[in-house]
């Protein structure tokens, strides 16, 4: 049995999530002590007075001129309007409408109703002072069945959004695929089918030609690893499979789709820049044993190098290939020339950082630090520094953008209607400071997008977890700046802490 089959992959946002801040496996005080000090109690979300020490030492940190302060969202999580203007069904429509798949049976049918309220949301972005906005384009709005003639009404929506950003002086950053695969393609095998990678490149080409003159930065596929692990190993994300052999086949086709989309941009003659959006997890041994060090190395292969090496080095990591075995569906699916496509030169790397992973000698993971309301997320700002410096060290000075970082808090409006998410302020401040140290140490970090602009549909967790800078009252769809939004506006204004 390979280490892979024994190890516990990071299980994200499982329905069985424990209560906020719950500690699952032995909180190891020694290692955690210094770090825990930087995480507030109650999963980093209490509203106790912020830590004085860090506040003082971080105060005055200035970011490079033109630093791209931003916020991020994705289509299915905010848009709603699931059946409007010719939108087809995606795997997430199917999944969320299947009983028992999401918390409280929540779906993205209405979500934050952004499709109708985008103009108001653009004004919120201007009020925040955002310089960059990262959103995703819903493939089923552009091609209801995943191929063929584009749906002009879908393209028009994104054209209006992009124009509205430019009118407000905010740079658009568009993700081509944030998990909402057209259901028709899933019916033909989804990402297990190599053809889906080709369809993705065709769709990308349509979008480049329609919007390319106005979108300076494109991201190909959001977090391929999450599709692999949550969608195909654990099954708590769409399409809800539990099939490890299929999972790594899917990984290869997602990577192939990425490379083909990069090539499609170059071929289209459109001038934008393009790169992958990878969620990277710094992996640390859980103890000082040689076994833990060895297991951590392989774990890192599955979490990070599988995606980074194929794109930046043109080869899948040998240790992961050996662990999968020569007869694995993935290894058998790799054709001559595939790695050349996957490693087509990119212009930037988008990094999404949420949590570290601690690996035992047996290849499983343990929790060492306080978590947020998301049980998979341990609070470790230094991980941001480690991830950013590591990619620069190992993969060269490719420009980096942080496209996601944030945490869920149990935000409830107080009697006066304000939302005091002091824990989010501390969390972001600590992560910004870590990013600043990385820049100081030579990382070409150009921009930083907080996840998320708005509270939204957090996949299998539905609307229960609130990740936004801006509170959304889902009954009235009223938006309210949380304390963190006010604070972030000041950070942007000062260009620093």
d(CA 194, CA 199): 9
Q: Does 229 bind ligand FCB (CB under 6 A)?
A: no
- Nearest distance from C-beta of residue 86 to ligand FCB, angstroms: 24
The dihedrals phi and psi of 37, each to the nearest 5 degrees, come to -60, -25
Name the 3-class secondary structure at 279: strand
- Nearest distance from C-beta of residue 240 to ligand FCB, angstroms: 16
Question: Shortest CA distance to 238 belongs to which of 246, 251, 253, 228?
Answer: 228
- Nearest distance from C-beta of residue 146 to ligand FCB, angstroms: 20
Catalytic residue (one of 192, 244, 404, 458)? 404
Residues 464-483 that bind ligand FCB (CB under 6 A): 467
Q: Does 226 bind ligand FCB (CB under 6 A)?
A: yes
Q: Does 203 bind ligand FCB (CB under 6 A)?
A: no
The structure tokens listed for 70 are 């931003």
- Nearest distance from C-beta of residue 229 to ligand FCB, angstroms: 11
d(CA 280, CA 388): 9
Which CB, 472 or 497, lies closer to ligand FCB? 472
Question: Shortest CA distance to 40 belongs to which of 370, 325, 344, 420?
Answer: 370
With b for 16 or more beta-carbon neighbours within 10 A and e for fewer, the 250-265 pattern comes to bbbbbbbbbbbbbbbb
Name the 3-class secondary structure at 330: helix
Stretch touching ligand FCB by CB under 6 A, among 165-173, 308-316, 439-447, 451-459? 451-459
- Nearest distance from C-beta of residue 239 to ligand FCB, angstroms: 16
Question: Residues 143, 175, 222, 371: which binds ligand FCB (CB under 6 A)?
Answer: 222
120 classed as catalytic? no
- Nearest distance from C-beta of residue 76 to ligand FCB, angstroms: 9
Q: Does 74 bind ligand FCB (CB under 6 A)?
A: yes
Which CB, 341 or 351, lies closer to ligand FCB? 351
With b for 16 or more beta-carbon neighbours within 10 A and e for fewer, the 443-467 pattern comes to bbbbbbbbbbbbbbbbbbbbbebbb
Q: Does 458 bind ligand FCB (CB under 6 A)?
A: yes
d(CA 263, CA 198): 11
DSSP string, 407-430: --------TTS----HHHHHHHHH
Q: Does 455 bind ligand FCB (CB under 6 A)?
A: no
Catalytic residue (one of 192, 223, 375, 458)? 223
Q: Does 404 bind ligand FCB (CB under 6 A)?
A: yes
Q: Does 177 bind ligand FCB (CB under 6 A)?
A: no
- Nearest distance from C-beta of residue 113 to ligand FCB, angstroms: 18
Q: Does 230 bind ligand FCB (CB under 6 A)?
A: no
- Nearest distance from C-beta of residue 136 to ligand FCB, angstroms: 9
Question: Residues 451, 471, 481, 488: which binds ligand FCB (CB under 6 A)?
Answer: 451
Question: Shortest CA distance to 232 belongs to which of 95, 357, 343?
Answer: 95
* Rounded (10°) CA dihedral 240, 246, 251, 254: -70
Stretch touching ligand FCB by CB under 6 A, among 79-87, 219-227, 231-239, 265-273? 219-227
Question: Residues 89, 93, 121, 223: which binds ligand FCB (CB under 6 A)?
Answer: 223
Stretch touching ligand FCB by CB under 6 A, among 218-226, 301-309, 365-373, 393-401? 218-226
Which CB, 158 or 459, lies closer to ligand FCB? 459
Which CB, 279 or 401, lies closer to ligand FCB? 279
Question: Residues 40, 102, 186, 279: which binds ligand FCB (CB under 6 A)?
Answer: 279
Please state, in angstroms and as integers, the Cα–Cα distance from residue 417 to each residue in 395, 420, 427, 452, 482, following that order.
47, 10, 23, 20, 10
Strand-strand pairing, 400-404 and 349-352: parallel
Q: N- to C-terminal Cα distance for the chain?
A: 50
Residues 123-152 that bind ligand FCB (CB under 6 A): none
**R_g over Cα of the chain:** 21
d(CA 375, CA 238): 20
404 classed as catalytic? yes
User: Could you list the residues that contact ligand FCB (CB under 6 A)?
Assistant: 74, 77, 222-223, 226, 279, 404, 451, 458-459, 467
The residues annotated with a catalytic role in the active site are: 223, 404
């Amino acid at each position: 049995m390979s280490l892979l089959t024994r190890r516990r992959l990071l299980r994200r946002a499982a329905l069985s999530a424990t209560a906020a801040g719950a500690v699952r496996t032995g909180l190891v005080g020694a290692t955690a002590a210094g770090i825990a000090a930087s995480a507030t109690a109650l999963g980093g979300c209490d509203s106790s007075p912020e830590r004085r020490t860090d506040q003082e030492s971080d105060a005055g940190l200035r970011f490079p001129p033109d630093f791209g302060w931003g916020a991020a969202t994705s289509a299915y999580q905010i848009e709603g309007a699931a059946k409007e203007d010719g939108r087809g069904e995606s795997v997430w429509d199917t999944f969320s409408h299947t009983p028992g798949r999401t918390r409280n049976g929540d779906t993205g049918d209405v979500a934050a109703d952004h499709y109708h309220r985008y103009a108001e949301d653009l004004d919120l972005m201007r009020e925040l002072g955002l310089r960059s906005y990262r959103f995703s384009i819903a493939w089923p709005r552009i091609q209801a069945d995943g191929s063929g003639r584009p749906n002009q009404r879908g393209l028009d929506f994104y054209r209006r959004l992009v124009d509205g950003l430019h009118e407000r002086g905010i740079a658009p950053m568009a993700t081509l695929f944030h998990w909402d695969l057209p259901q028709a393609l899933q019916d033909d095998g989804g990402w297990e089918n190599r053809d889906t990678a080709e369809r993705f490149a065709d769709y990308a080409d349509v979008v480049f030609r329609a919007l390319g003159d106005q979108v300076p930065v494109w991201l190909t596929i959001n977090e391929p690893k999450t599709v692999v692990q949550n969608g195909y190993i654990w099954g708590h994300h769409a399409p809800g499979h539990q099939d490890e052999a299929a999972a790594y086949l899917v990984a290869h086709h997602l990577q192939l789709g990425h490379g083909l989309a990069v090539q499609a941009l170059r071929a289209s003659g459109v001038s934008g820049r393009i790169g992958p959006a990878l969620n990277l997890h710094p992996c640390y041994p859980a103890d000082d044993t040689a076994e833990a060090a060895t297991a951590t190395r392989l774990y890192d292969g599955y979490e990070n190098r599988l995606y980074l090496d194929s794109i930046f080095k043109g080869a899948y990591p040998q240790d992961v290939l050996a662990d999968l075995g020569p007869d694995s569906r993935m290894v058998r699916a790799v054709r001559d020339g595939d790695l050349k496509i996957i490693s087509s030169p990119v212009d930037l790397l988008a990094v999404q950082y949420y949590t570290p992973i601690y690996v035992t000698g047996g290849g499983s993971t343990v929790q060492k630090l306080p978590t947020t309301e998301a049980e998979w997320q341990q609070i470790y700002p230094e991980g941001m520094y480690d991830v950013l410096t590591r990619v620069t060290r190992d993969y060269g000075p490719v420009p980096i953008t942080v496209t996601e970082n944030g945490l869920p808090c149990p935000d409830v409006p107080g009697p006066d209607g304000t939302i005091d998410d002091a824990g989010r302020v501390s969390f972001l401040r600590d992560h910004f400071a870590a990013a600043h140290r990385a820049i100081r140490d030579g990382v070409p970090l150009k921009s930083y997008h907080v996840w998320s602009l708005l509270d939204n549909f957090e996949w299998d967790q539905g609307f229960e977890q609130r990740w936004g800078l801006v509170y959304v009252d889902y009954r009235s769809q009223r938006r309210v700046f949380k304390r963190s939004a006010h604070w972030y506006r000041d950070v942007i204004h000062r260009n620093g802490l």
